[in-house]
Structure 1
Amino acid sequence: MAKEMHLIGYCCATPTWHHNGSWRHFESDALDALDPQRYENIARILERGKFDGMFFVDVQMIEEVFGGNFNANLHQPGQTWLLDPMQLLATIARVTSRLGLAATMSTSLYPPFHIAKAFASLDHISGGRAGWNVVTSANDNEAKNFGFERLLEKSLRYDQGDEVLEATHALWDSWEADAFILDRENAIYADPSKVHHVNYRGKYVSTRGPLTTPRCPQGSPVIMQAGASDRGREFAGRWAEVIFAIHSSKKHMKAFYDDVKSRVVKHGRDPSHCAILPSVDVIIGETETIAREKADYLNSLVSPELGVAGISNSIGVDLSNYPLDKPLEDMEITQGPRGMLDVILQGSEGKTLRDAGRAWGVSQMNPQLVGTPKTVADHMQDLFEGEACDGFIVCPSLTPSSYVQFVDGVVPELQRRGIFRTDYKGLTFRDHLRS
């Protein structure tokens, strides 16, 4: 049986996602961003397309690195505000039956017990479709919103993350699979001998257990992760079942793929149990000309200045005092997350900060695939069969129409080529990823 690619839809519970000008387009649903029906509609589209799942990005602050305030991100909708994705996914679970449902939660801010209970509950509510996108926070303003003065030193955050993963897995395992007896006649609801204290104590976190939520259908949620630094890749090699990657070329995708797969093997895991999915932004047209015209118009709505503010927020460095026409190679930036900074600087020769801001505003440095269903499928197939990825995180340039066009055009093309499922083969998120 031929290997089939995996597809996961990218979502944010906020007006715009990667494309900072899309909210101005007449087809956009961005003005309905507070309405849960917006996200339920997107989920139904993705499930109709047999996607493995959808996941929500989340942060715990309004960005204000650029210029030392949040003006740029509120004047136009950059990363402005966010609804809580866990509550949205609970509503989405009721209008879908197969689609995996993942949300972001930080190991730097939330205690293991809270994380374990939240995702075990979502897994029960969805019938085994929960996923956790694991992040380590990078901005002290997030810490301050949770009552801490600052985050741990950058070099220690993944150490803390390892402990949180160890503790949450111990909590999920604190109920054995057959703990429930449910014997009305003999008045035995559960076997207490199959529910256990955890008594986990690490350097950064501790938890007593047992979890107050019984063992969930999958045993534990699917673990997603997006670290690009060396330490982040090592963390992924140990824990991740899905990796959200950002790379601008096949060469960089392939190098990342080979490196992370080798780390998965080093940790004694099956490399097929870790799906590496680079993010792609898509614009589909009936012809190449129509697709290009759609992209040109949509991209004309982008604000380069807001894009620079987005870069500032991403790397944690205020770029407001740099001239927009300053060449990138002349900018000495040593702060910020190294992995993301490397992505931004890929192919930076001859580019200015304005160019980088425009590129960020269009797709946050993700490849923007523009073409017919056939040519977009050609590109995806080339990367997939070239072992540069196991599938894709699909980010719509315009919601919901980009998803509709992808599902109605590209998905059937991939199915005809035998490289994407025609129907779900299992019930859970993990089933989809391993089938």
Structure 2
Amino acid sequence: MTRQMHLVGYCCITPTWHHNGAWRHPESDAVRPLDPERYENMARILERGKFDGMFIVDLMMLHDTYGGTFEPNLRQPGQTWMLEPLQVLAGVARVTSRLGLAATMSTSLYPPFHIARAFATLDHLSGGRAGWNCVTSTNDREIQNFGGDRLMEKGLRYDYADEVVEACHALWNTWEDGALVIDQKNGIFADPSKVHYANYQGKYVKTRGPLTTPRSPQGSPVIMQAGASDRGREFAARWAEVIFTLHSDTAHMKKFYDDVKSRVQNGGRDPNHCAILPSVDVVVGETDSIAQEKADYINSLVSAELGVAEVSNAIGVDLSAYPLDKPLEDMEITQGARGMMDIILQGSEGRTLRDVGYIWGVRQMAPQLIGSPTTVADSLCEMFEAQACDGFIICPSLTPTSYSQFVDMVVPELQRRGVYRKEYQGRTFREHLRQAL
């Protein structure tokens, strides 16, 4: 079978999450961020487009890095307050039947038993469509909301995360296949010989088990990961089945792709079992000029100042003391999340902090593809056929319009070219990802 492109829809349970001016657009559904139907409708659109999955980002704090206050992130709704994603996905599971359903949960904040039980439950409720976006957390304010003071030292967080994932797998494996017998005639509901203790003991983590949730349809959720640092890439090479990455152009995508795929292979895993999906923002119209008009209008709604606050949040450094119109390369910013900072610096020569804030507000440093279905498909296929990716995380400028227009206009063009599925071949999230990767 010809290599097939994989698509995952990006989402947050908050007003806006990728384009900070989208909530002001007259077509935006961001004015009802607490309505579950909003997210159910997005999921239906993605499933109609045969997407592999829907991926929900989560944060465990109100951002207050910029100026030491959360005021800029509440006055204008950037990626800020959020509902708990697994509960939302449990509802989404009832209105979909094929779409993978992935949510973020931090190894730094939650114990393995909670993580394992939560995702096993979602996997049951969805019939085998659960995915775990496995993150380590980068901001001390998150752990302070859980009663701690500081996160582990940066170099140890992935060591700890390795043990959390190992412990989760030990818990998921405490129930063998066929442990649930449900034999009414003979009065046997479960076979105790097929349920075991985990008794996992690591340097940092331990758990007894068994898990209180029977073995789920996939056995374990699909593992997603987004680490960009060297240690994050090592972690991804060991565990990730989907890597969500962020790059400004094809050259940087290709460099990341080749590096991580080689790490996966060197670690003894099949590189085809790790889909690398960079994020892209798409604005599509019937013609290139119509698409450009749409992009110009929605981009005019962006707040560059809010974008700078969001960059502060992303790298964990207060940028409020830096002049907005000073070139970025003239600033000595040595702290913060190194992987994210490297991404922000890609192609930033001559840009001011205000410029970077505007770009972040528009597309969070991902490429913004603007054009007709043919033009957008050309761009996607160019990156895909250059072996710079295995598909894409589709980040909508405007919800639900960006999703629906992509599904109705770009997906048929990709199908016509033979690089994207016309129908689902499997039922589970993992089966979708393994299809012709």
**Structure 1 regions of 5+ residues with no counterpart?**
none
**Displacement of 1:183 after TM fit?**
1.8
**Displacement of 1:189 after TM fit?**
1.3
Q: Secondary structure at the match of 2:98?
A: coil
Aligned to 1:290: 290
**Displacement of 1:93 after TM fit?**
0.2
Q: Secondary structure at the match of 1:382?
A: helix
**Displacement of 1:266 after TM fit?**
1.2
The answer on whether the counterparts of 2:18 and 2:79 sit within 8 Å (CA) in structure 1 is no
Aligned to 1:252: 252
Map Cα deviations across residues 25-76 of structure 1 (whole Å, 9 max, x no partner).
Answer: 0000001110000000000000000000001000000000000010110110
The answer on whether the counterparts of 2:224 and 2:241 sit within 8 Å (CA) in structure 1 is yes
Map Cα deviations across residues 275-333 of structure 1 (whole Å, 9 max, x no partner).
Answer: 00000011011111111111111111100100000000000000001110011011111
TM-score normalised by structure 2 residue count? 0.99
CA distance in 2 between counterparts of 1:267 and 1:108 reads 24
After TM superposition, the structure 1 = structure 2 runs for residues 373-384 of structure 1, keeping only pairs within 5 Å, are: 373-384=373-384
- Residues 201-210 or 58-67, more deviating: 201-210
Q: Secondary structure at the match of 1:10?
A: strand
Aligned to 2:142: 142
The answer on whether the counterparts of 1:62 and 1:79 sit within 8 Å (CA) in structure 2 is no
Specify the code of the residue in structure 1 equivalent to 2:379.
Answer: H
After TM superposition, the structure 1 = structure 2 runs for residues 207-226 of structure 1, keeping only pairs within 5 Å, are: 207-226=207-226
Map Cα deviations across residues 379-404 of structure 1 (whole Å, 9 max, x no partner).
Answer: 00011111000000001100000101
Map Cα deviations across residues 145-172 of structure 1 (whole Å, 9 max, x no partner).
Answer: 0011111001100001000000000000
Aligned to 1:98: 98
Specify the code of the residue in structure 2 equivalent to 1:193.
Answer: S
Aligned to 1:50: 50
Specify the code of the residue in structure 2 equivalent to 1:378.
Answer: D
After TM superposition, the structure 1 = structure 2 runs for residues 231-270 of structure 1, keeping only pairs within 5 Å, are: 231-270=231-270
Specify the code of the residue in structure 2 equivalent to 1:147.
Answer: G
After TM superposition, the structure 1 = structure 2 runs for residues 21-420 of structure 1, keeping only pairs within 5 Å, are: 21-420=21-420
CA distance in 1 between counterparts of 2:256 and 2:282 reads 22
Q: Secondary structure at the match of 1:166?
A: helix
**Displacement of 1:80 after TM fit?**
2.2
Map Cα deviations across residues 335-383 of structure 1 (whole Å, 9 max, x no partner).
Answer: 1111100000001111100100000000110111110111000000011
CA distance in 1 between counterparts of 2:98 and 2:79 reads 29
Specify the code of the residue in structure 2 equivalent to 1:340.
Answer: M
Specify the code of the residue in structure 2 equivalent to 1:381.
Answer: C
**Displacement of 1:4 after TM fit?**
0.4
**Displacement of 1:78 after TM fit?**
1.4
Map Cα deviations across residues 59-105 of structure 1 (whole Å, 9 max, x no partner).
Answer: 00000000001011011001221011000000000000000000000
Q: Secondary structure at the match of 1:279?
A: strand
**Residue correspondences, number:** 435
- Residues 75-84 or 207-216, more deviating: 75-84
Map Cα deviations across residues 180-230 of structure 1 (whole Å, 9 max, x no partner).
Answer: 222222211111111010111112211000000000000100000000000
Q: Secondary structure at the match of 2:114?
A: helix
Q: Secondary structure at the match of 1:258?
A: helix
CA distance in 2 between counterparts of 1:299 and 1:186 reads 66
CA distance in 2 between counterparts of 1:161 and 1:341 reads 22
CA distance in 2 between counterparts of 1:243 and 1:232 reads 11
CA RMSD in angstroms, aligned pairs only:
0.6
The answer on whether the counterparts of 2:45 and 2:404 sit within 8 Å (CA) in structure 1 is yes
The answer on whether the counterparts of 1:198 and 1:208 sit within 8 Å (CA) in structure 2 is yes
Specify the code of the residue in structure 1 equivalent to 2:263.
Answer: R
CA distance in 1 between counterparts of 2:7 and 2:197 reads 38
CA distance in 2 between counterparts of 1:63 and 1:368 reads 25
- Residues 180-189 or 102-111, more deviating: 180-189
CA distance in 1 between counterparts of 2:337 and 2:236 reads 16
The answer on whether the counterparts of 2:128 and 2:216 sit within 8 Å (CA) in structure 1 is yes
Q: Secondary structure at the match of 1:294?
A: helix
Specify the code of the residue in structure 1 equivalent to 2:141.
Answer: N
CA distance in 2 between counterparts of 1:417 and 1:294 reads 26
Q: Secondary structure at the match of 1:32?
A: coil
The answer on whether the counterparts of 1:264 and 1:271 sit within 8 Å (CA) in structure 2 is yes
**Structure 2 regions of 5+ residues with no counterpart?**
none
CA distance in 2 between counterparts of 1:98 and 1:78 reads 30
Q: Secondary structure at the match of 2:244?
A: strand
CA distance in 2 between counterparts of 1:79 and 1:406 reads 22
After TM superposition, the structure 1 = structure 2 runs for residues 416-431 of structure 1, keeping only pairs within 5 Å, are: 416-431=416-431
Q: Secondary structure at the match of 2:31?
A: helix
4+ runs of 1 displaced by more than 6 Å? none
- Residues 44-53 or 199-208, more deviating: 199-208
Map Cα deviations across residues 124-151 of structure 1 (whole Å, 9 max, x no partner).
Answer: 0000000000001000000000011111
